[in-house]
Amino acid sequence: MLIGEVSERSGVSTRMLRHYDRLGLVTPAGRTSGGYRDYSPDDITRLFRVEGLRSLGLSLAEVKSVLDTPGPAGPTELIGELADQSRRRLAREQELLTLLHRIEASTPAGWEDVLRSVRLIRDLGSDSAPTRHRAALAATGAHLSSEAIAEAVLTESDLNVSGALTWALAETAGDAGTDVLAAGLRSSDAGVRRRAVSAIAELSGPTVVDDLRRALHDDDATVRSRAVLALGARGHRDIVPALIDLVVDAINDVDAADLLRDLARDPRDADRIADDLDRLVHDTTIPPDARSRVAQALVELPGERAVDVLAGLVGDENPAVAAVASMRMRRR
The pLDDT tens digits of the residues spanning 257-277 come to 999 999 999 999 999 999 999
Which residues fall within 8 angstroms of residue 103, CB to CB, at 6 or more apart? 114, 117, 118, 121, 145
In terms of pLDDT, which residue wins out, 195 or 65? 195
Taking only the tens place, the pLDDT of each residue in 283-327 is 888 999 999 999 999 998 998 999 999 999 998 898 999 998 888
State the CATH number of the domain containing residue 25. 1.10.1660.10
Mean residue pLDDT across the chain = 86
> Do 255 and 301 form a contact (C-beta atoms < 8 A)?
no
**Mean pLDDT calculated for residue range 69-94:** 67
Answer whether residue 4 shows pLDDT above 70.
Answer: yes
Instruction: Decide which of 21, 41, 73 is a domain's last residue.
Output: 73
Instruction: Decide which of 43, 73, 103 is a domain's last residue.
Output: 73
Residue 73 Cα to chain centre, angstroms: 42
**Mean pLDDT calculated for residue range 170-183:** 83
Taking only the tens place, the pLDDT of each residue in 202-228 is 988 888 999 999 999 999 999 999 999
- 137 inside domain: no
Q: What is the pLDDT of residue 148?
A: 83
Number of domains in the chain: 2
- 254 inside domain: yes
**Cα–Cα distance, 323 to 244 (Å, whole number):** 21
Q: What is the pLDDT of residue 275?
A: 95
Taking only the tens place, the pLDDT of each residue in 87-122 is 776 766 666 666 666 666 666 656 666 667 777 778
Instruction: Decide which of 26, 50, 73 is a domain's last residue.
Output: 73
- 20 inside domain: yes
- 22 inside domain: yes
When pLDDT is cut at 50, 70 and 90, the band that residue 124 belongs to is confident
- 158 inside domain: no
The boundaries of the domain holding residue 16 are: 3-73
When pLDDT is cut at 50, 70 and 90, the band that residue 246 belongs to is very high
- 119 inside domain: no
- 8 inside domain: yes
The percentage of residues in the chain with a pLDDT greater than 90, rounded to a whole number, is: 45
- 192 inside domain: no
Closest residue by Cα to residue 304 from 260, 262, 269, 271: 271
**Mean pLDDT calculated for residue range 126-146:** 82
> Do 129 and 157 form a contact (C-beta atoms < 8 A)?
no
Q: What is the pLDDT of residue 250?
A: 94
